Structure 1
Amino acid sequence: MTRSQQLLRTVVPVVGAALFMVTVPYYRGWFDLNVYYGTVDDWIRHGGRIYDYLLPGTGYGFTYPPFAAVCMLPMLLVGHTGAVVGGVLLSAAASVLLLRGPLYELPLGRGGLVATACLFVMLEPVRDTFSLGQVNLLLMALVYADGGRGRFAGVGIGLATAFKLTPGIFIGYLLLTGRRRAAAVATGTALAATAIGVLAAPSASWVFWTRALWDTHRVGALDYVSNQSLQGALARMGAGRPVWVLAVLAVLVLWAYRVRRATEAGDDEAGMALTGLAACLVSPVTWVHHLVWAVPALALLVRYGHRAVAAALYVVLCSSVVWLWRDDSSGVDGLLGGSTYVWICLGLLALWPQAPSRLPSPSCVRRADEPGLEAAS
């Protein structure tokens, strides 16, 4: 490949991504980061209570455990603008780690990292994570850097679980795959981090674990179209909580079966990807930006040779299609279109392909036994 061809392979994806980003998405103005910053500012500087604070002009407040608020205290040292810049840089760093780990599965050859990064940033969950100032990519990088392997197996998953409860399903993944020591370490780490939150904010901890955790309406209406979990889809259909509980149990059984099959085949990458899909489905609230956990599954589909399917799903996940039903998700079209991402996650979990016996060569995909993040992919 000539130098001009290499330059072209770099410039075209960057220009294409830039044009897409300035014409297609709409940005969220760091909404979630404003909630984070306002909460810790009110708590530390004005003597407020973590779960009483609401972002001015909205009904939204802090929804994570107190340990997360403790972790966010450094924002006060750099101010709001510094917090925004720091959040973007941290998410960018996490993206690089993920692109060199679970998302390295895309066999794009030389210059492939730039092309993959451009494809990655155009995904709606990734765009929203950046523009909301969300923490999804950071927690995902923690979980994948851990993966239940290595000297500190379980620590990253435990910290992510203490920060935001959704990654706790990866402790279940460790148990399903026979990594009991890593599961114990993850559980112990989560409990120790939670204890830090209790010591730092005892009254807030009591409020969170006895009341705020169980009040799903604190984060918004369950039937809002951005909620792409099973609960969101069922709420839009008017189904009650018993139906949701049964649906969650069915998905967890399916997830356990798929993970065990992947483990028997020695395919840890699939087990992690399937767990991410299950996390999106069973969480009571899965906003669109939480769907970054589904992205590794798309990368693995490419590696398995299902490129057409992966490409089609990728286009849908870039399209913001669910927002067409933002005002009215009734009818058959609302049932299908308004919960598009739910059906994608459920379909991938149910129809997950068996790994081919011959995977791409190490020149395209890093060996799973290499140290670091790649080993956790």
Structure 2
Amino acid sequence: MTGPARFAPRTDRGRLLLVSSLAAAVTVFTATVPLLRDFFDLRVYYGTVHTWAAHGGRIYDYRVPGTMYGFTYPPFAALAMLPLALVGRNTAIVASLLVNLAALASVLRVLAGPGWRRYGWYRWSLLLCLLALFEPLRDTFSFGQVNLVLLALVLGDARLLAGGRDRWAGAGIGLAAAVKLTPALFIGLLLLAGRRRAAATATAVAAAATALAAWADPGASRHYWTEALWDTGRVGRLDYVSNQSLQGVLARLGEPGRPLWATAVLLTLCVWAWRGRRAVTAGDWTAAFALTGAAACLVSPITWVHHLVWLLPSFAVLWRAGHRRLAGALFAVLCTSVVWLWFDDASGPLGFVGSNTYTWIALALLLRLPTGQLRSARLPLDRSASATATAPSPESPPTTAVPDQPSSSSADPEVAAATGTAAGRDLARSPSSEPTGSTRPAASNPQSSSCRASSYTASPPPS
């Protein structure tokens, strides 16, 4: 026995002790080393909904007290968050944590595949300890963000498509696109795959949700689609180091012009279309969705670090394809908060490389992520089975197939997808003064780890 397995505990008691020790260490780390985000984004959602529903204010007029930040999502997102108007701030925080935990469980269930139970409580516990160190994920929980929920909705469609259950495929993507525009790229993936029905379902769901929001608040919808959508200044500075998109790279180079960015986006989408098409042709829906998540992070004008939870499927693909050291190395980099070393100054060659580290990882995944591994993973087993099969002898002639017997292709479609049969059939950083780096007069710091109590009150003033 070599490697880490040599030092792994062999008894349940030893495993429980190891998991408990790791969980305690991770808890201490997350409570002391990274900046706690004080549920800043949740405060935006909470304040917006309370102002809108309880005080008769307008969705896009609300600002978190002491900041310039307000609601930036489409109006349907505010409509979906209306239950926040019925609860207090602390209850909203607990609800956010529970919803994100449920979304994470759903994401891991899909990425693990049909045999998820075989990993047992020990391996799942170790994985959760590791995921708690993953900067995009811990920021998602600490901000009270929604991207993990959107990822769960999108991957739900990946599971349906891989299992050949097309009736409701696309609904999750449509809902996600109605809440936030970035997941709309997955509709493009469905079109690339020739899944017109699923693409139509996603488009119809997104359109219906958008129309419902327009009915609920026509003024807010008109303002969003004609003004707020095009004003990136509402979200934050493009050159802020947390913006790990192509636009962020160009802005930090002093080249924020739209023509150059549009060219970079077009080239990226061409690479995505080529690689995504190859993945769906091979029936590898997990890789296709992983490539689309990486591409969406790159082409979005603003991709904050916590948005990079969309890269999680890529690590599952790398692990499944046998590139475990590479997956571990990239994962470790995304746990380091390394980009924040260039928070004050990203100039020079080292600044160019270091401040955009997460962008380079997303770009590398788009270019080199293995595809078609579901099918190729069966080949060694097939060769082994054929090599060890007993040759027919005169005393025992070879058997012949009985036409009336059910074939192996009639097995559960989800299990078949995981083995490749259905696939062939179906296509410690420095504290920042702002969460998004916007320029404003000095005010209370929403991200500071030294000031973790929310400055938001349960009853925001009417606008």
TM-score, with length taken from structure 2? 0.76
Give the alignment partner of residue 179 of structure 1, picking from 195, 199, 222. Answer: 195
Give the alignment partner of residue 33 of structure 1, picking from 42, 50, 58. Answer: 42
**Corresponding residue for residue 138 of structure 1:** 149
Residues 100, 373 of structure 1: 8 Å contact kept: no
Give the alignment partner of residue 358 of structure 2, picking from 341, 347, 365. Answer: 341
Give the alignment partner of residue 26 of structure 2, picking from 17, 33, 44. Answer: 17
1:60 aligns with 2:76: no
Partner SS for 1:328: coil
**Corresponding residue for residue 117 of structure 1:** 128
Hey, what's the Cα distance between the residues in 2 that align with 1:221 and 1:191?
Answer: 30
Hey, what's the Cα distance between the residues in 2 that align with 1:106 and 1:8?
Answer: 23
**Corresponding residue for residue 364 of structure 1:** none
Deviation at 1:87, TM superposition (A): 0.6
Structure 1 ranges of 4+ moved more than 4 A: 103-108, 370-376
**Corresponding residue for residue 128 of structure 1:** 139
**Corresponding residue for residue 320 of structure 2:** 303
CA distance 1:207–1:103, change in 2 (3 Å): farther
- RMSD of the alignment, in Å? 2.4
**Corresponding residue for residue 183 of structure 2:** 167
- List gaps (5 residues or longer) in structure 2: 1-9, 382-411, 424-463
Hey, what's the Cα distance between the residues in 1 that align with 2:304 and 2:332?
Answer: 19
Deviation at 1:352, TM superposition (A): 2.0
Deviation at 1:371, TM superposition (A): 10
Deviation at 1:250, TM superposition (A): 0.4
Residues 106, 303 of structure 1: 8 Å contact kept: no
Residues 109, 116 of structure 2: 8 Å contact kept: no
Give the alignment partner of residue 351 of structure 1, picking from 344, 365, 368. Answer: 368
Identity %: 56
Residues 128, 289 of structure 1: 8 Å contact kept: yes
Hey, what's the Cα distance between the residues in 2 that align with 1:238 and 1:162?
Answer: 33
**Corresponding residue for residue 449 of structure 2:** none
Hey, what's the Cα distance between the residues in 1 that align with 2:369 and 2:331?
Answer: 16
Deviation at 1:238, TM superposition (A): 1.3
Hey, what's the Cα distance between the residues in 2 that align with 1:308 and 1:16?
Answer: 23
Deviation at 1:2, TM superposition (A): 2.7
Residues 171, 205 of structure 2: 8 Å contact kept: yes
1:283 aligns with 2:300: yes
Hey, what's the Cα distance between the residues in 2 that align with 1:372 and 1:353?
Answer: 17
Letter in 1 for 2:191: L
Listed as ranges, the matches of 1:1-377 within 5 Å are 1-8=10-17, 10-102=19-111, 109-110=119-120, 111-147=122-158, 149=161, 150=165, 151-239=167-255, 240-356=257-373, 357-358=376-377, 369-370=414-415
Report Cα offsets for 1:16-71 as digits up to 9, x if no partner: 42243234311100101111111111112222111111111101110001111111
Deviation at 1:98, TM superposition (A): 1.1
Hey, what's the Cα distance between the residues in 2 that align with 1:249 and 1:255?
Answer: 10
Structure with a larger share of its residues in helix: 1
Partner SS for 1:190: helix
TM-score, with length taken from structure 1? 0.93
Letter in 1 for 2:84: M
Letter in 1 for 2:214: V
Residues 294, 362 of structure 2: 8 Å contact kept: yes
Hey, what's the Cα distance between the residues in 1 that align with 2:116 and 2:417?
Answer: 19
Q: Work out the number of aligned pairs and report it.
A: 371
Report Cα offsets for 1:181-204 as digits up to 9, x if no partner: 000000000000001110111001
